[in-house]
Amino acid sequence: MTRKWHRTLVVAALLTSTGVNAADAPQSGVRDLAYGEVLFYFYQDDYFSALTRLLAAQERGELQHHAAEGELLLGGLYLSYGQHQLAGAIFERLLEGAVEPEVHDRAWLFLAKIWYQRGYLDEAAAALGRIQNELDSELEPERQLLSATVLMDQERYDEALAVLQAWPDPGADWVGYAKYNIGVALVRLDRVADGIAVLDDVGQLDAVEAGVEGLRDKANVALGYAWLQANRPLEGRASLQRVRLNGPFSTRALLGVGWSYAELESFEAALVPWLELRDRSLRDTAAQEALLAVPYAFSQLGANEQAADHYLQAIAAFDAELVRLEGSIDSIQEGELIASLLDTDSVDASGWQWQLDELPESDETRYLYELVASHRFQEGLKNYRDLTFLRSNLDHWIRSLSAFDDILDTRQRAFDQRLPRVDGHLAGVDLEVMTSQVESYRARLISAEAEQDFVALATPEEQDQWRRLRAMRPLLTSMAGDPRTAELAHKQRVLEGLLRWNLEREYRVRLWRHQRDLRDLETELEDVRRGYATVDSARGDWPSEFSTLTADIDSLTPRVLTLSAQVDAAMERQASHLESVAVEELQSRYDRLTTYRVQARFALASIYDRATAQLQSTTAEAVAGAAQ
C-alpha cells in the first residue's frame, strides 16, 4: 500500500503544475534531461540518488520546464526520509496555488497517511483538514476512516464517534471497520450498551471477503469482554464462542469463555477452555493467565491437591519464562536485536517503501512480534536503516576523497609532462600570419568579383596558358607581313578565344567555390583561435585550478568526517530509543509474570495453610476421640 501512495504522490507531482487530469496527461512529458535522470532513479526506488540529483539539478538551474514538479517530488522524497517539516512546507506552498482540486485533495490525503504511519498525529490531522472536497468512491472511505482513527489515537473519542456516525455511506469494504471503531469508541466512553450493540453487528458479519474474518474475531473478543465487564457472562460467552479456534484472537477468546463459566461458578466447564489454553505458548499473555486460572478453578472445586500441583507448575513455568526474559533484555541492551532485524537486509536507498517483512528466529523477536509489527517500531527501525545507509554513503565518500587526491596528483604529473609539448605546439602557431593570409585571400577574391576578373579564378595551368597566348599577340603582330605567320595568328586568336570562353563560363561556379572555401577558412581560423585561447587559458589556469580543487577536497574531508560523527550519534540515539522501547515492552511482561508468580505463591501458601488447618483440625478431633 505504501508503494501505491508514493506512486500517486508522484502522479500528483507530474500533474500539479499543468493542471490536467491523469487521463489527459501526455505519455511523454519530460522536457529537461536532468529531470528525466531524477525520474530514472526514482522509478527504480533509489530515492537517495533521485534526491541528490534533484537537489543538484535545482542548484544548477537545470529544471526550466519542471520546476513545480521537481519541488513537489522533492517534498515527497523529503517525506520519504522522515523530513516531514521540510516536506510539509513544500506541499503547503505548492498545493495552495493554482492546483487541480482533485490533485490537491488526493495529495493531502496521502500526506496524512504517511504522517500517521510515522506517528505524527497532529500533522496528519492538519493534512486531513486541508482536504476541501469529497474524494472519489475509492478514497473517500479511506479519508473518513483515517480521520476517525487519528482522533481516536488522540483520545478524542467523541469527535471520532461524530465523524463515523456522520458518514452517510461507508461502503461495503469499510462498513465493518467503521462499525468496529464506533463500538470501541462507545465502550471507551463508558457507553457500554451502545457499544455492545454496534460490536455485535460486526461480530456477526458474513466472512466471505478476505480480511473480514479477522475483524469479526476482533469484534467478538471486544464484545465478549464488554459483556463480562457488564456482569453478563452468558452474553459474553456467546460472543466469544463465535471466535475461530485457530485465529489470532483465539487465546483471548478461550480465556474469556473460561471466565464466563467461572462467573456462573461452573468451574468444571471453565477448566475446558483454560486447560486448552494452558498448553499454548507461554509467550501469550492469555496463556500466562490460564496458568493461574486452572489451579484457581481446581481450588474452587475443592481439589486442593490438584490446585497445588498446577500452582507449582505455574511457578516453575513463570520462573523459566522470567529467566528467558532476562536473557532477552540483556541481549537487547547489548544491541543484538537491531543487528538481528537488519542482518539479512541489504541496506539501500529505498526510503519509505521499505518494510521488515520477515522476523529472524530469536526469543526477542518472538516476544516482540506485535511491537515489531507496529507502525511505531517499524518507522523507528526504518529511520535507523536510513541512517545506516547514510553512514555507508559517507564512508564511500571518505574513501573517494582520498582517491580524488590521487587523481589530482596524477593529473598534475601529466600536466608537467605535457607542458613542454604544449608550449612547442603553441609556439608553432602564428595566428597573425594565418589571419594575414586569409585577409589577403579575401581581398583578392573581392577584387576578382568586383572586376569580373575570370583569369584570377583560373587554375595555375590555365593562367600560364593565358599569359603565353597573350604574349604571342605582339610578336605575331610585328610579323604580320610574313605569309607564314597568318596561320599562326589565326590559331592564336582561336585558342585565346576558346580559353577565354571556358574561363568566363566557369567564372560563376569558381567564384561560388572560392567564396565557400573562404567561409570554411574563416571558420577554421576561428576554431584555431578558440582552441589556441582554450589551451593557452588552460595552461595558465591549471595551477590555480589545481590549488582550488586540492583546497576543496581538503575542506570536504573534515566536513564528511563531521557528518559521519553526527550520523553515528544519531544512530546511537535511534538504536537506544528502539532498544528502550523493546526493553520497556519486555520489562512489562517481566513485571506481569513477576506479579503472576507472587499470586501463584500466595495462592499456593493459602492452599497449604488451609490444608494444614484442616489437618490440625482432623488431628485434634482424632486425639479428642481417642481420649474419650
- Is 10 contained in some domain? yes
Treating both helix axes as pointing N-terminal to C-terminal, what angle do 192-203 and 175-188 enclose, rounded to 10 degrees?
150
- Is 200 contained in some domain? yes
- Is 100 contained in some domain? yes
- Is 142 contained in some domain? no
Quickly tell me which residue has 576523497 as its cell.
Answer: 401
CA distance 368 to 490: 120
CATH code of 124's domain: 1.25.40.10
Q: Are residues 113 and 180 in the same domain?
A: no
Q: Which three cell numbers stand for residue 221?
A: 473478543
Quickly tell me which residue has 469479526 as its cell.
Answer: 216
CA distance 335 to 576: 9
Alpha helices in 279-374, H assignment, sequence order: 285-300, 304-333, 336-341, 363-367, 369-373
Q: Are residues 62 and 129 in the same domain?
A: yes
Exposed e or buried b per residue across 480-505, where buried means at least 16 C-beta atoms within 10 angstroms of its C-beta: eeeeebeeebeebeeebeebeeebee
Q: Are residues 114 and 185 in the same domain?
A: no
- Which parts of the chain register pLDDT below 50? 1-28, 172, 210, 349, 352
Q: Are residues 30 and 126 in the same domain?
A: yes
Q: Which three cell numbers stand for residue 19?
A: 493542471
Contact indicator for 139, 108 with CB cutoff of 8 Å: no
Alpha helices in 264-301, H assignment, sequence order: 267-278, 285-300
Question: Residue 208's pLDDT is what?
Answer: 56
- Is 14 contained in some domain? yes
Question: Residue 207's pLDDT is what?
Answer: 59
Q: Are residues 4 and 128 in the same domain?
A: yes
Boundary-marking domain end, from 133, 162, 185 = 133
Q: Are residues 92 and 6 in the same domain?
A: yes
Q: Are residues 26 and 108 in the same domain?
A: yes
Boundary-marking domain end, from 222, 249, 264 = 264
Interior CA angle at 354 toward 350 and 355, to 5°?
170
Contact indicator for 71, 39 with CB cutoff of 8 Å: no
Give the DSSP letter of residue 24.
Answer: G
Contact indicator for 341, 575 with CB cutoff of 8 Å: no
Question: Residue 295's pLDDT is what?
Answer: 92
CA distance 183 to 200: 9
Quickly tell me which residue has 507496529 as its cell.
Answer: 374
Domain span at residue 202 reads 173-264
Residue 353, amino acid: Q
Specify the number of domains making up the chain: 2
- Is 34 contained in some domain? yes
Question: Residue 57's pLDDT is what?
Answer: 92
- Is 190 contained in some domain? yes
Question: Residue 269's pLDDT is what?
Answer: 92
Q: Are residues 187 and 255 in the same domain?
A: yes
Q: Are residues 94 and 11 in the same domain?
A: yes
Boundary-marking domain end, from 78, 108, 133 = 133
Q: Which three cell numbers stand for residue 82?
A: 522522515
CA distance 461 to 458: 8
- Is 358 contained in some domain? no
CA distance 14 to 9: 9
Q: Are residues 106 and 24 in the same domain?
A: yes
Q: Calculate Rg over the CA atoms of the chain.
A: 46
Question: Residue 5's pLDDT is what?
Answer: 43
Q: Are residues 189 and 120 in the same domain?
A: no
Q: Is 281 exposed, middle or buried (0-12, 13-18, 19+ CB in 10 A)?
A: exposed
